[in-house]
Chain A
Amino acid sequence: MTKDTPAAVGSPPPPSRAATFGARAWAVSLWPFVAGVALAAFLYFTLPSAIGPYYLRIVVDVGIAMVLAVSLNIVSGMTGQFSIGHAGFMALGGYTAGMITYYGSILCWGTASRHGGFLGVGDWLFVVACVVGGLVAAAAGYMVGLPSLRLRGDYLAIVTLGFGEILRVVLQQTNKVMEDAAAVRASTLSDWIPPPVGGAVGFDGLPKYTNLFWVGVFVTMTVVMAYRLKQSSMGRAMLAVREDEIAAQAMGVDIAKTKVRAFVLAALFAGMAGGLFAHEPGLIISPKDAGFQRSFEYLIMTVLGGRGSISGVMLAAAILTALPEFLRDFEQYRLIVYAFLLIIMMLLRPQGLFGIHEIWQIWPRRAGANPKTEAVAR
């Protein structure tokens, strides 16, 4: 039985780090971020007036879905671990970020509404909140990833699912949101345990900071991180774990560490995406966002895009987020079509649309991309 080793897959290995990390290396390292932020700023200033609020919202949704799907792709696509709790991480990050911006705004400025303009003080509070939300989610990812050391694939799936469901139930039992600064100052410890995030109705009243610019920044961060991870030795180790755990172990890959790393990274970005989601205008984050239905949606994006293909997953996230908006009349049939797509995809093209390749590696096929190295899933 011949099997492609993960090392034979994808693009050439990164250049040696032996060279000093000079100005040129910094430029190489930073240009994707600069380009991404510039593009995000450009879109932020031009797109809203061009397409109107309805389509703008779809674009923002697509961006958030991309962050979530690409980060899930690290666990499910690259490391081959089956996580159905991704929405749980998202909700955890979203609620954490929401608490920081909401109660932070109330305490600092007396009101929970938006504060400051583009790149103003409020915006930075929001970014810090998103990052903290990501860190909290990452801590939860570590906790959820730990059992993966002892559990094999499908058991792990159930644990991640259990995590999301437990979180959903716990969020339903939370206290009511405190309305103003007086209430916050008068609160006692018992008002904060469980946290005042609105219970079953959701966390309403958050300042709506999410806009195209910040979504663009976070998408850039996620995608560059994922792409570089895929090129790095850690990413190779993840791919090796996905292909064959025993062989990977024999090659010196620390399976346990690799899996937990994948979980933590994915949860980190899911948490940040949760921050974006919670502050998106016109949305109220609620406990049902932690449930498994939402996790399934991101899993479907990952699978359809190609497990391991970042651009493929982004494309799938864009299509699957935007399509339902245009198929409102066929709402009843939307999930049936999804389900059929999923089954047929698994039967006919189990590695997803793009397999492990990026879009530009497949079509048009360059001389460098050898079709024979396509990672055929066993």
Chain B
Amino acid sequence: MADFVQTLITTLEVGSLYALIALGYTMVYGILKFINFAHSDVVVLGAWISFTLASWILPAIGLDPHNPATPPPFWVGGVILVGSMVACGVVGYFIERLAYRPLRNAPRLNVLITAIGVSLLLQNIGQLDFVFGPSPQKMPALLPKWDVISFSLSGHGGVHAISIGVVDVILFMTSAVLMIGLEYLVFRTKLGTAMRAVSFSPTTAALMGIPVDRVVSFTFVLGSALAAAAGFLYAMKYPGLNQPAHTIWVLLGLKAFVAAVIGGIGNVRGAVVGGFVIAFVEQFGAFYISSNYRDVYVFALLILILLVLPNGLLGSPVRDKV
């Protein structure tokens, strides 16, 4: 029982990270109909910008940036989160403006290849010595190590203590707030209506007076900001930051993309559902079957779902028009 609960808690955390990243993939796909391969690199950028900001701010308030003796005040985390979201939003805007917009009417293969190019570019610029550097770093702890909830459950070989720390609660709360905010934005505001209209048919939306280019730019900024938040939260949860071109980041992005596809790509709620489904399969598979094959479960589930439900769990069928 204790193992089960602990795995479930991890699932919720990892799932909310996947969901945050998947939202970016799904929004871009919904509007422009292509996989933004560079999205996972924006997540990396978010994590590394958080690290850079932390290593600037902490000395300024008199703490050791590598291993602060006392946790910094809560506003530091907030500032870093917002700062990295803003920075990544700007980067997302320029990626769309410079690389994707000129290809708006090009074949999708070309756009995909451009996206791969942007992804490689971001990774390798990040690896340069004067940017983030080619070696891993340790994210300083920005939150105290308190236990918010702790209880004991009987499990294998006696009683296990289960504790949920501040990091876990903040991670889950922040992503929940962001997801609910996005839900509100997409389904309750004028801008969200415009986004859905562009997603439905860019031409018709343009005829109705919707500034398509601006909506697309906004979508990229929004998706990149969410990715940055996911990067920040990831760095808080797993402080060992790998170098920007490390495989682990690409796998993180891929799994989030798989989440978006499983939920039904283009569907905002589906991305959240998919994120948790993927995390569930990955974590429980890793714990109860074998942790060596955790990536295999995810991709096997993807192939299975695509073969049974090609439009994902919540997606609507797509028809090719002549």
Contact = CB atoms under 8 A, between A and B. Distances in A.
Contacts of B148: none
A81 to B, nearest CB: 9
B299 A343 contact: no
Interface string A107-118: 000000000000
Nearest to B35: A154
Contacts of B121: 336, 339-340, 343
B247 A347 contact: no
A336 to B, nearest CB: 5
Contacts of B303: 147, 159, 162
Nearest to A307: B109
Interface in B115-136: 116-121, 123-125, 127-129, 134
A291 B322 CA distance: 37
B124 A336 contact: yes
Given A169-B293, A378-B106, A339 B120 contact: yes
Contacts of B254: 158, 161, 165
A347 B120 CA distance: 16
Instruction: Report, as a range, how many residues of chain A touch the other chain.
Output: 35 or more
A153 B109 CA distance: 8
Contacts of B109: 76, 80, 82, 153, 307
B123 to A, nearest CB: 7
A245 B107 CA distance: 13
A173 interface: yes
A190 to B, nearest CB: 16
Interface in B282-322: 292-293, 295-296, 299-300, 302-303, 306-307, 310, 318, 320, 322
A151 B111 CA distance: 18
B102 A347 contact: yes
B222 to A, nearest CB: 21
Contacts of B247: 291, 293
Contacts of B117: 339-340, 342-343, 346
**Of residues A169, A293, A332, which shows the largest number of chain B Cβ atoms within 10 Å of its Cβ?**
A169
Contacts of B293: 169-170, 173
B138 interface: no
Contact of B113 (A151, A165, A342): A342
Majority DSSP secondary structure for residues of A touching B: helix
B139 to A, nearest CB: 24
A159 B258 CA distance: 10
A350 interface: yes
A342 B120 contact: yes
Instruction: Report, as a range, how many residues of chain B touch the other chain.
Output: 35 or more
Contacts of A333: 124
B142 interface: no
A347 B103 contact: yes
Nearest to B322: A246
Contact of B112 (A150, A152, A157): A157
Contacts of A245: 320
B94 interface: no
B32 to A, nearest CB: 11
A170 B295 CA distance: 10
A293 B320 CA distance: 32
A170 B296 contact: yes
Given A155-B310, A350-B107, A169 B292 contact: yes
Nearest to B320: A246
A159 B306 contact: yes
A346 B99 CA distance: 9
Contacts of A292: 250
B164 to A, nearest CB: 30
Nearest to A164: B299
A109 to B, nearest CB: 35
Given A166-B296, A292-B250, A347-B102, A377 B123 contact: no
A335 B120 contact: yes
A64 interface: no
Interface of A: 76, 80, 82, 147, 150-155, 157-159, 161-163, 165-166, 169-170, 172-173, 245-246, 291-293, 296, 299-300, 303, 307, 332-333, 335-336, 338-340, 342-343, 346-347, 350, 377-378
The 8 closest A-B pairs by CB, nearest first: A342-B117, A162-B299, A339-B121, A339-B120, A343-B117, A335-B124, A346-B114, A336-B124
9 contacts: A82-B109, A152-B320, A159-B306, A162-B258, A162-B302, A165-B251, A296-B120, A343-B117, A378-B106
Given A332-B124, A335-B123, A347-B114, 13 more contacts: A82-B112, A154-B108, A154-B112, A157-B35, A161-B254, A166-B296, A166-B300, A169-B295, A336-B120, A336-B121, A342-B114, A342-B117, A343-B118
